[in-house]
């Protein structure tokens, strides 16, 4: 039997050798506990179980999904939050699956259409909410998914690079250096970005924490190498860098807590304004206050 991995399954990182060896041992002793999901002849979920069974010479148990199944929504529900993925990995996975769903979704009059109602998220806001990341992280993941080299995408998928760093790599290879030319007239200042654009350009706390954690892991590894090599000076240097990274991570977490407290205070003040104009929907309070002020102005006139 020849089985191949579905592209949606490959949107998630491969199991490391230690975990795969543990899976091999478990299947060898207890058999395959859960069947792998098959969709249109490819393994949509459970690829590592299939690999382990093949390595052991065991025929894998397979569950053929119904034609009406939305494969993108299925693989996201199975993998997005049950695995230990960082913010960049979740963002890239959901963007990859959503883009596949848009290109692979059948037309309404096609046989077996439509997919199930539990469809993969479509808008940037929906993707950010589903992946539990910011809009800017989703925007950066879209750049990585569509413009990054395969090795860069794989590095993000495998947790070795953040989407922010990957976008920098994309820009570094796609934007050649320009020679500066003298200009006769000074160009007018660029208009301020719209609210949505500004939100996309804001630094992502999720990514900041991911990068700091990745830096910590790299520094710990370097520190161990230095200590084992009896390089005292190098060990001290890397220890200081590690301590500095830990402090930065603590500062980032403090910034998150302060932002959460500030957001809660702002929401409390907004709801106070809403009660004053008899409006409880946060999205409608501003309009209600404006209407109230206009009414007072007309009454005074």
Interatomic CA distance for residues 75 and 77, integer angstroms: 5
Q: What percentage of the chain exceeds 70 in pLDDT?
A: 71
Average pLDDT for 40-64: 94
Instruction: Say whether pLDDT at 193 is over 70.
Output: no
Report the range of poorest mean pLDDT among 13-22, 102-111, 260-269, 278-287. Answer: 102-111
With contact defined as beta carbons under 8 Å apart, do 99 and 145 qualify? yes
Report the range of poorest mean pLDDT among 146-150, 228-232, 268-272, 279-283. Answer: 228-232
Average pLDDT for 138-164: 92
Interatomic CA distance for residues 69 and 120, integer angstroms: 11
Per the model's pLDDT, the better-predicted residue between 112 and 162 turns out to be: 162
With contact defined as beta carbons under 8 Å apart, do 60 and 34 qualify? no
Average pLDDT for 1-12: 90
- Answer whether the bond into residue 114 is a cis peptide, omega within 30°: yes
pLDDT of residue 178: 54
Report the range of poorest mean pLDDT among 94-98, 128-132, 148-152, 215-219. Answer: 215-219
Does an H or E element contain 63, and which?
Answer: strand 62-64
Average pLDDT for 245-270: 86
The two structure tokens encoding residue 87: 């913010």
* Runs of H (alpha helix) within the chain: 17-30, 47-56, 71-79, 87-104, 124-131, 135-147, 150-157, 163-174, 195-201, 205-228, 232-276, 282-300
With contact defined as beta carbons under 8 Å apart, do 140 and 166 qualify? yes
What mean pLDDT value characterizes the chain?
A: 79
The two structure tokens encoding residue 129: 């909410």
Report the range of poorest mean pLDDT among 29-33, 59-63, 169-173, 187-191. Answer: 187-191
pLDDT of residue 61: 95
Domains, the chain, with CATH or none: 1-65 (3.90.1530), 69-171 (no CATH)
C-alpha torsion sign, points 80, 82, 84, 87: positive
């Amino acid at each position: 039997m020849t089985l191949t991995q579905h592209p949606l399954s490959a949107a998630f990182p491969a199991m490391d050798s230690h975990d795969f060896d543990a899976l091999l041992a478990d299947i060898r002793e207890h058999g395959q506990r859960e069947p792998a999901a098959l969709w249109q002849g490819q393994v949509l979920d459970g690829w590592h179980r299939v690999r382990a069974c093949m390595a052991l010479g065991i025929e894998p148990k397979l569950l053929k999904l119904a034609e009406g199944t939305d494969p993108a929504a299925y693989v996201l529900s199975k993998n997005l939050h049950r695995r230990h993925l960082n913010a960049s990995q979740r963002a890239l996975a959901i963007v990859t699956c959503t883009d596949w769903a848009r290109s692979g979704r059948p037309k309404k009059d096609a046989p077996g259409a439509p997919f199930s109602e539990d469809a993969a998220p479509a808008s940037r806001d929906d993707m950010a909410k589903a992946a539990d990341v910011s809009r800017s992280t989703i925007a950066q993941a879209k750049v990585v998914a569509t413009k990054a080299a395969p090795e860069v995408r794989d590095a993000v998928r495998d947790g070795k690079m953040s989407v922010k760093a990957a976008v920098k790599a994309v820009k570094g290879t796609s934007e050649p250096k320009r020679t500066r030319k003298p200009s006769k007239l000074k160009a007018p200042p660029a208009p301020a970005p719209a609210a949505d654009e500004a939100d996309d350009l804001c630094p992502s706390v999720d990514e900041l924490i991911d990068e700091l954690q990745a830096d910590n892991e790299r520094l710990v590894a370097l520190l161990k190498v230095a200590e084992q090599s009896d390089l005292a000076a190098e060990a001290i240097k890397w220890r200081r860098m590690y301590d500095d990274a830990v402090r930065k991570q603590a500062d980032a977490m403090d910034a998150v807590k302060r932002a959460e407290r500030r957001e809660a205070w702002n929401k409390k003040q907004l709801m106070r304004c809403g009660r004053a104009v008899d409006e409880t929907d946060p999205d409608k309070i501003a309009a209600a206050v404006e209407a109230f002020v206009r009414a007072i102005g007309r009454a005074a006139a």
